[in-house]
Amino acid sequence: YQDNREQSVLNNILNINKELASKCKVDLEDFNEEFFQLSQNLNSIDQVASFVAKGEFFTCNILNRYLNQNGIKSQFISSFDIISSNQENISLYNKGEFNVEGYKITESLMKNDVVVIPGFSGRTPLNKFCLLGRGGSDTSGSIIASAVNAKAYEIWTDVNGIYSSDPRKISNTFINEVVDYDFMRETIREIAAKGHIQLQETFCDEIITAMLAHPKVLAARVSTSKPDVYPDCHSVGVEVFRIKQS
Answer yes or no: pTM beyond 0.85.
Answer: no
Question: For every one of its 246 residues, what pLDDT tens digit does the chain have, with 9 covering 90 and above?
Answer: 344 444 565 667 777 878 888 888 888 777 666 666 656 666 777 877 777 777 788 889 899 999 999 999 999 999 999 999 999 998 888 888 899 999 999 999 999 999 999 988 999 999 999 988 767 788 888 889 989 988 888 877 766 666 666 677 777 776 665 566 778 888 888 888 888 888 888 898 999 999 888 877 878 888 888 887 788 888 888 888 888 775
Determine the residue type at 235: S
The dihedral built from the CA positions of residue 222, 227, 232 and 236, taken in this order, carries a sign that is: negative
Distance, CA of 102 to CA of 216 (rounded, Å):
28
Q: For residue 138, what are the contacts with CB-CB under 8 A and spacing of at least 6?
A: 119, 155, 219
Show the CA angle centred on residue 204, arms to residues 203 and 207, nearest 5°.
90
